[in-house]
Structures are given as structure tokens and as C-alpha cells.
């Protein structure tokens, strides 16, 4: 086994040890095929008010602009599928990824530990860790690394584990053995396109982000009105519809990450609790949660909008 193969084995062993469900590696290079797709997506204004999506165009496509001397992009999956769907008792729906602690903090801590352990076993490694917090095309890198394929809903799908996973990356200056992309297994299925109530999936693999329920319930500022008549289907933070209907998610299994378990306050919420929520209750129920991103005013706006539909 040469040093490249040995280092790759170490990286994948650390990923498994830290609880990541999958680990794939791609060569850090310019994403030439993605450049025109991203340009067209932005030209159609599918990012809506998400102005940050138009920033750092070059960095999104070239990991060496984020990490000088980068040679490898390590793509990782971390399961967040819950033990229990809270929607039936709540009435109002939260995306499953938001049931527990904010994944940015939880996973970034694991990534820092990952890099520390890699340095202990391999030696000096230059690089950075990312989890949905920088201009990194996470799904495209995961696809290149053979972790899964891009489904018609634009999400990364895996044949054995579904899609309820957080994506994370290490971009490092270490040359590794690179994985090969897997084939697309969506076939003729159109369940995600058929189920989206706002028709946000404009064509297979292309999502108009400005029409997505997650956009309406998270990205729109609290003072911005949700367009009248948009069917939010009781979602008040994010949306899982295109994942819930995906046949590959029949393979989803509950996570074993304590930080992602809902606290007792969230577990005990009932429809009236959402409708009568105060700022104090919001702070208690969503302490350390990704839901804080919408702020109290935003969540209350969403609840009021859904209640009137």
C-alpha cells in the first residue's frame, strides 16, 4: 500500500469512527460542468432574495480559491432522520433537520476533531472544514465523490440510505485516492415533482428556490409577506415533502445522535401552543436550534399564515 492509499484508508476510518454515514473523496479542481448551470440558475433568479447565492461565483466552482493548494475534497454524510415524526401531534410542521440542536455547531465540532485526528495519524495537513456555511457546492462534490447522485428534487440521494443527511466537507492539501461517481437511479420516477405544492421543481434537477416552501418559511425576512395563495401545507419552518415522497427514503433509519433529538418542550407542543407562542416560549423551545434563524417574528408570521389557509 502506497502513502496515498494509506492516507485514504486513514481518512475513511476516521469518518466511520466519528459516526459519518458515508465518506467519498474527489479531486479538488474547477467544476467546469457546473459553471454554466449555476450561471443559468442565477440568471433565472431562482435564488430570489437569497443574494448570498450570487456572491463568490468563482469560489463556488474552484475549491483552490477557498483553500490554496487544495488537492482533495472529502465529502461526508451525517444522518438526521428522527425516531419520530412530530407533525401528527403538532399540526404545524418543522423540517426534520431542525428537531434538535443546530447542525452547524454539532457537525463542525466533529469536523474539527476529524482534522485533528487526521493530523495526528498522517502529519501536517492544510485545509478547512465546511458544513453549509461557505460557498461550497456540497451536493455536486458529494456526487463527484461517489457518495450519491443528484435526484430530480436537486438533493443528494443514496441507494441504501435515502436523503435525510447533512452534507459536510474537508477541503485539504493532501493527495488521496479518488472515488468514482455512481449512476443515477431515479429512472422515470416523478414523485417529487408531482408532490411539490408550489411547483418549485421546474424540471428534473432544477429547483426554483424562490418558490420552495423552505424559502417562504426561512429565507424571506420576517417583514416580507408570503405570497397570497401559496399552499404551505402546514409547514412553518422548512419543508420535507420532496424527501418524504421519495421511494429511496424507505431505507431511512433513525439517527443515533443525541444532539439531534427534540427537547421535551418541542416534543410536547400542540397546535394551540404554536398559535399562542410568545417570544419567551420561542427562546425556551428553540434554544440552540436552527429554527432561531427564522427568529420569533418569522415563525409567528408562518404560523399565522398557515392557520388562515
Active-site residue numbers? 132
At which residue does the C-alpha cell 434554544 appear? Answer: 287
How far is it, in rounded angstroms, from Cα 47 to Cα 58?
Answer: 17
**Cα-based torsion angle of the residue sequence 101, 107, 113, 115 in order, rounded to the nearest 10 degrees:** -160
Q: What single string gives the DSSP state of each residue in 155-167?
A: SEEBTTTBS-EEE
DSSP secondary structure letter of residue 63:
G
Q: Is 87 helix (H, G, I), strand (E, B) or coil?
A: helix
How far is it, in rounded angstroms, from Cα 155 to Cα 11?
Answer: 25
Bridge partner list, 237: 94
Q: Which helix (H) or strand (E) holds 58?
A: helix 57-61
Long-range Cβ contacts of 106-110 (<8 Å, 24+ apart)? 106/257, 106/259, 106/260, 107/78, 107/131, 107/166, 107/168, 108/133, 108/168, 110/18, 110/19, 110/20, 110/78, 110/168
Cα–chain center distance at 1: 35
Rounded alpha-carbon distances, angstroms, from residue 42 to 47, 70, 152, 213, 302: 6, 27, 19, 19, 26
Amino acid at each position: 500500500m502506497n502513502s496515498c492509499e494509506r492516507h485514504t484508508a486513514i481518512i475513511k476510518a476516521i469518518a466511520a469512527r466519528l459516526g459519518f454515514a458515508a465518506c467519498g473523496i474527489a479531486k479538488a479542481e474547477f467544476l467546469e460542468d457546473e459553471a454554466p448551470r449555476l450561471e443559468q440558475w442565477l440568471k433565472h433568479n431562482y435564488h430570489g432574495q437569497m443574494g448570498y447565492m450570487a456572491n463568490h461565483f468563482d469560489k463556488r466552482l474552484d475549491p483552490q480559491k477557498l483553500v490554496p493548494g487544495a488537492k482533495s475534497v472529502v465529502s461526508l454524510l451525517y444522518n438526521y432522520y428522527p425516531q419520530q415524526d412530530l407533525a401528527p401531534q403538532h399540526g404545524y410542521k418543522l423540517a426534520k433537520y431542525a428537531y434538535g440542536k443546530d447542525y452547524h455547531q454539532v457537525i463542525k465540532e466533529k469536523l474539527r476533531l476529524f482534522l485533528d485526528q487526521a493530523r495526528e495519524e498522517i502529519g501536517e495537513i492544510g485545509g478547512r472544514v465546511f458544513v453549509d456555511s461557505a460557498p461550497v457546492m456540497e451536493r455536486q462534490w458529494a456526487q463527484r465523490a461517489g457518495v450519491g447522485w443528484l435526484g430530480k428534487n436537486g438533493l443528494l440521494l443514496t441507494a441504501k440510505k435515502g436523503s435525510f443527511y447533512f452534507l459536510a466537507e474537508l477541503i485539504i492539501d493532501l493527495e488521496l485516492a479518488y472515488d468514482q461517481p455512481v449512476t443515477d437511479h431515479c429512472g422515470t420516477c416523478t414523485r417529487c415533482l408531482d408532490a411539490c405544492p408550489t411547483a418549485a421543481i421546474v424540471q428534473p434537477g432544477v429547483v426554483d428556490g424562490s418558490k420552495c416552501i423552505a424559502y417562504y418559511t426561512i429565507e424571506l425576512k420576517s417583514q416580507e409577506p408570503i405570497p397570497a395563495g401559496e399552499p404551505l401545507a402546514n409547514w412553518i419552518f422548512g419543508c420535507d415533502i420532496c424527501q418524504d415522497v421519495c421511494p429511496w427514503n424507505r431505507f431511512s433509519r433513525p439517527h443515533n445522535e443525541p444532539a439531534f433529538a427534540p427537547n421535551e418542550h418541542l416534543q410536547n407542543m400542540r397546535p394551540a401552543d404554536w398559535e399562542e407562542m410568545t417570544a419567551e416560549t420561542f427562546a425556551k423551545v428553540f434554544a440552540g436550534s436552527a429554527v432561531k434563524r427564522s427568529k420569533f417574528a418569522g415563525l409567528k408570521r408562518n404560523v399565522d399564515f398557515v392557520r388562515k389557509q
